[in-house]
Amino acid sequence: MNTQPVHLAVYDTLADWEPGHATAHLARAGYRIRTVGPAREPVTSIGGLRIQPDLALADVRPEDSSLLILPGADLWDTNDDLAPFARKAREFLDAGVPVAAICGGTAGLAREGLLDDRDHTSAVSFYLAATGYAGGDRYIDTDAVTDGNLVTAGPTEPVAFAREIFRLLGVYEGELLDAWYRLFHDSDAEAYAVLAKAGAA
């Protein structure tokens, strides 16, 4: 396992529910989760949670990370304040370090041109089309998509988003990954038994 931390982007209007499955189970798997804000000042999520970032965005380097997670936020669609996070995602992808974006984070990547040549998904195709990006023919209408080192998902798919992150990082694989998804997406009691047997529940 890569011992580098996972970096979770945090900013005002952050959609609280989107990265939770991923970060909780990555932490249980031994990854350290570091929050990254525009600066070190506290931010407030859409649910009113106040978060003190561990790091400012300018201080994050791809070589010090296993993954950058970009959750959705109202700010992705109201101004350019979060554009630096999309530019940081470009740095990560250029360095071969994974990026995972969900909801508004996908729109930020689209505006940065990072979805023009990669398979991807989001909330709906016309949401990304409104960004003016050139990747509409690579849009896939499904719960989550992984293309190389990039994971994308829509706002209603935090479990599928986490599933793709786990697959990409090798946290769960094969039967265990399938069982994890069935447990948290479908409340499948038999899936819990599979995870418990493997010591992963």
168-190: average pLDDT? 94
Strand order in the sheet with 55-56: 55-56, 33-37, 6-9, 67-70, 99-102, 150-153, 144-147
Is residue 103 flagged as an active site residue?
A: yes
Closest CA to 20 of 49, 54, 41, 52: 49
Interval 17-39: pLDDT, tens: 999 999 999 999 999 999 999 99
Would you state the pLDDT for residue 2?
56
| pTM of the full structure | 0.96
In the chain, what percentage of residues exceed pLDDT 70? Answer: 99
Are 62 and 97 in contact by the 8 Å Cβ rule? The answer is yes
Average pLDDT over all residues of the chain: 96
Interval 99-124: pLDDT, tens: 999 999 999 999 999 999 999 999 99
Closest CA to 47 of 77, 89, 2, 17: 17
Six token digits for residue 9 = 């982007």
Residue of 103, 114, 169, 183 with catalytic role: 103
Radius of gyration of the chain (CA): 16
